[in-house]
Amino acid sequence: MNREEIDLSHTGGITRLIHRVENLIQIGIAFSLLGIAAVILVYTVYHLVHQLASGREIIHTSIRAIQDILLVIIILEVLWTVVNYIESQSIPLEPFLFIAIISGVRGLILQSTKTIEAGHQDIYTIAMEIGIHGVSILLLVVALYILRKSRCFLKMEKEWGTKRSPKD
């Protein structure tokens, strides 16, 4: 039997098995992300209540809680990206833009809190980093706007194209 005559009838079954295993792994990743988000959220609420009950500074405690909640939102965006991939086998760009925007906001908050404790020499560096975070957030929002408008445009163009009668 030469190479061209090899029976390939089993490859369909192997491919289906690989897809099933891949889906199980992705489902495991989704549940892991959900568990991690839940643990971080519970810890954040516990830490916030504990710090406030012990009379700690409310500003730093609140800022830390906001940063942790934003991290949970990022994890949930990644989770929904995984779920969307499991369902449709495609990865949209939009969730990654959301994740980048939320990460930028987290960085902006972090840099802003550094100004409270910074010395006179560090203020310029921190101000530059805040500006960079602000500009990057603005660019990401513009990119998200362009992405959404292009989808609307493509949808309108598709609908318009199907309503036109073909020229004879």
pLDDT of 60 reads 80
95 Cβ neighbours under 8 A, 6+ residues apart: 77, 78, 80, 81, 84
With beta carbons less than 8 A apart as the criterion, state whether 47 and 106 touch.
Answer: no
With beta carbons less than 8 A apart as the criterion, state whether 56 and 70 touch.
Answer: no
Give, in degrees to the nearest 5, the angle at Cα 106 between 100 and 109.
Answer: 140
pLDDT of 118 reads 67
3-state secondary structure of 91: coil
The pTM (predicted TM-score) of the whole model is 0.68
Please give the average pLDDT of every successive group of 10 residues along the chain, which has 168 residues: 50 81 90 95 93 82 88 91 82 86 88 73 81 92 91 76 55
